[in-house]
Structure 1
Amino acid sequence: MAVSPPDFARLLTAGGPYPFPVEGLEARIRVLPGVPLSLPSGRVVAIEPFMAGGDDADAMAFTARVAPGTYQVVLSEIVLLDAGGRVKDRRVAAARLVVRDEPVARWELAVTAGQDPARLGDDEYFGYPVDGGTGCFLDAETYRALEAEEDFGDRVFDAMYPGDSVTVPSPITLAVGEDPTAVVFFTTGFGDGAYATWVGRTAAGEVACFVTDFVTLSDEDEDEDEDGDEDQKD
């Protein structure tokens, strides 16, 4: 069967400490303030921003749709502390696009047209590839508008590194055209990989949120010597 959803109750809630597979370190979760994202069509795309506009927008959008509007993107951050309580590192653990502030009754993989979770093998999942250490949320209409913008990747880089190669903390909002909140992007966990996005639904079946997990916390009961990484399908 396809990979199971992570422990979102832990991942999306400030707390800890949690075990971390590096001796002398423990992890805590910190939830950052939300930032607005425009969804003019309500068709959500999650992708590495350097790749935005490179494919057909309809093919990139998730099949789960929401009402057009402006929603909050909220990041969960993993903070790594040493035995003395000093911060040794901090990374984005998950990015959540909040649609409804309601409890999630069930989770499902976010899929695009033609992706069928029933065809996934053990521990396989659909996700987007990252090789520039960043991810983002945007609307399909915004994605389509970026097809004509040749320098968007440069804008992403300049926003992340405005001078002297100092990284701006996540999240970062970029304008497209006259829309000042068209793209929200952020760093992705410990770097490159392939990351799944999940749809959280309410008890009534409505979309409550989209969450991309950057695989920074393992299940506490997971064997550390299990074979390799989980398989990913584009």
Structure 2
Amino acid sequence: MNEVRPETREYLDGLFAPGLRIGGDAHTPYSWIEIAEVQEVTAIRLPSGRLVVDSPWNAEPPRELAFRIPPGEYPVDISWANCPRLANGYYAEHRECAATRLRVRDEPVVTWELALGVGEDPALRAAGAGFAAEDAMGCFADATAWQPLTEPFRRYLTDVAAAGFGGPPIGRDTEDHFELVREDLCEGYFDLVRDEAHQADLLAFGVPEGWGQVWAGRARDGEIAVIIAPGPVPTSPWD
């Protein structure tokens, strides 16, 4: 396990601290984000304790995390950040996802690590291990129920392919996109799929365009306390 740089730890510690301003520099106006609110979105069932954090559009074998957590049902939180955005020469307030968090244990995080997938070389941590985030989307899901939980996403892609170039685009902002999910949360920001046969769930959320990372926070006894996927915010120590 490699300890992260101090600036990375400061960033991760602050992602769920309302009122905290993160980032910014003296030469770039409004380059910070300010954590505005932490909201519990839902709870998801992970009956095997084998957690996938990957793009739900992924047609390849999913990226299952190398560690396991106790089987159970876990709350998921979102951290909303105020991110000033330049439009027509003026900065306007904009709210965006700072991070999505799976709470395994309500205990303070003592150490952080960049979470690896099963079989991945620890050397990948230095290179920024993560997953290809198609459509700027990631998800938490139980590994044993990955196929049924992602079936709506595959079905949607099949429908788009069958429609040809005249079909609807893939995207969170298209009305047809929401036909593939059983429930949307936070005005469509989250897509929730439940599989009653496996008593397992998938929750899809926003991540940076192209590449998503997963951070695991461990409690004092070394056990996993939280799992965080940073969202599409403009300020982070690894930009």
How far residue 64 of structure 1 moved from its aligned partner, in angstroms, is 0.9
Among candidates 193, 199, 202, match of residue 183 of structure 1: 202
Q: How much has 1:109 moved relative to structure 2?
A: 1.8
2:231 to 214, 226, 230: 214
Change in Cα spacing, 1:143 to 1:103, as seen in structure 2 (3 Å) is same
Structure 1 residues without counterparts, runs of 5 or longer: 220-228
Q: Give the direction of change, closer, same or farther, for the CA distance of 1:132–1:164 in structure 2 (3 Å limit).
A: closer
Higher helix proportion (structure 1 or 2) = 2
**How many aligned positions are there?**
210
TM-score after normalising by structure 1: 0.73
Letter in 2 for 1:32: Q
SS of equivalent to 1:50:
coil
Offset, 1:170:
2.4
Per-residue deviation, residues 1-39 of structure 1 (Å, max 9, x unmatched): 897444222112112344547635652112122311110
Counterpart residue identity of residue 236, structure 2: S
Report the aligned-residue RMSD.
Answer: 3.6
2:132 aligned with 1:129: yes
Distance 1:168 1:63, change over 3 A: same
Secondary structure in 2 matching 1:70: strand
Query: Does the 8 Å contact 1:159/1:172 carry over to 2?
Result: no
**Separation of aligned partners in 2, 1:212 and 1:101:** 17
Residues 73-92 of structure 1: matches in 2 within 5 Å? 73-81=76-84, 88-92=93-97
TM-score, structure 2 normalization? 0.72
Which of 147, 168, 186 is the aligned partner of 2:187? 168
Q: Which digits, 9 at most, give the CA deviation of each residue in 1:146-196, with x for residues without a partner?
A: 5766416589x99945738899342332223546861111122xx413122
Equivalent-residue separation in structure 2 for 1:111 and 1:28 (angstroms) = 29
Q: Please point out which of 4, 16, 40 is paired with 1:12.
A: 16
2:162 corresponds to which residue? Answer: none
Q: Measure, in 2, the Cα distance between the counterparts of 1:181 and 1:170.
A: 20
Alignment match, 1:38: 45
Alpha-carbon separation, structure 2, partners of 1:33 and 1:87: 26
Corresponding residue number in structure 2 for 1:205: 222
Task: Indicate the percent of aligned positions where both proteins have the same amino acid.
Answer: 26
| Deviating more after overlay: 205-214 vs 138-147 | 138-147
